[in-house]
Amino acid sequence: MASDWTFTLNGKSLPVPTGYKVDFEPFGEFSRNANGYLIGDLIGEKRKLNCTWQQLNGENYQLLLSARAPFFGEVTFYNPDSGNFETMEMYTSPVSATLKQYNQNQSKTLWGSVTMNIIER
């Protein structure tokens, strides 16, 4: 990721994800008819940010966890749909991580394979 890239959640500047995938998820009322043909009404589309961090120290991991409150919050992110940084109201999925190294000094504790999804409200 570019060094001038920013990523904020609820006003807290977070480490830039090492992996960043954006899903555009349609929502509406859909079903299939007897021929298997999809029918329904498309209401809209929501963005889902699939964020990963290869490794975070304990301080940055705690920052990531604390930034999730309140549940609905403002997220500033790069939106490939517009080609700009945008701020939207979103919420987070559970965070998953693997403890790689523990140290009482949180800056030396290491968490790996950190994942979190952020979904447009």
The pLDDT tens digits of the residues spanning 59-86 come to 999 999 999 988 999 998 888 888 998 9
- DSSP alpha helices (H): ranges in 39-78? 58-66
DSSP helix/strand/coil, 74: strand
Q: Tally Cβ neighbours within 10 Å of residue 101.
A: 12
Tens-level pLDDT at each residue, the chain (121 residues): 445 677 888 889 889 899 989 999 988 999 999 999 999 999 999 999 999 999 999 999 999 999 998 899 999 888 888 899 899 999 999 999 999 999 887 778 999 999 999 999 9
**pLDDT of 4:** 63
Q: What is the C-alpha to C-alpha distance for residues 19 and 55, in angstroms, rounded to an integer? A: 11
Of 111, 92, 121, 119, whose CA–CA distance to 18 is shortest?
111
Contact between 39 and 92 under an 8 Å Cβ cutoff? The reply is no
Q: pTM of the prediction? A: 0.80
**Paired strand residues for 16:** none
**pLDDT of 1:** 47
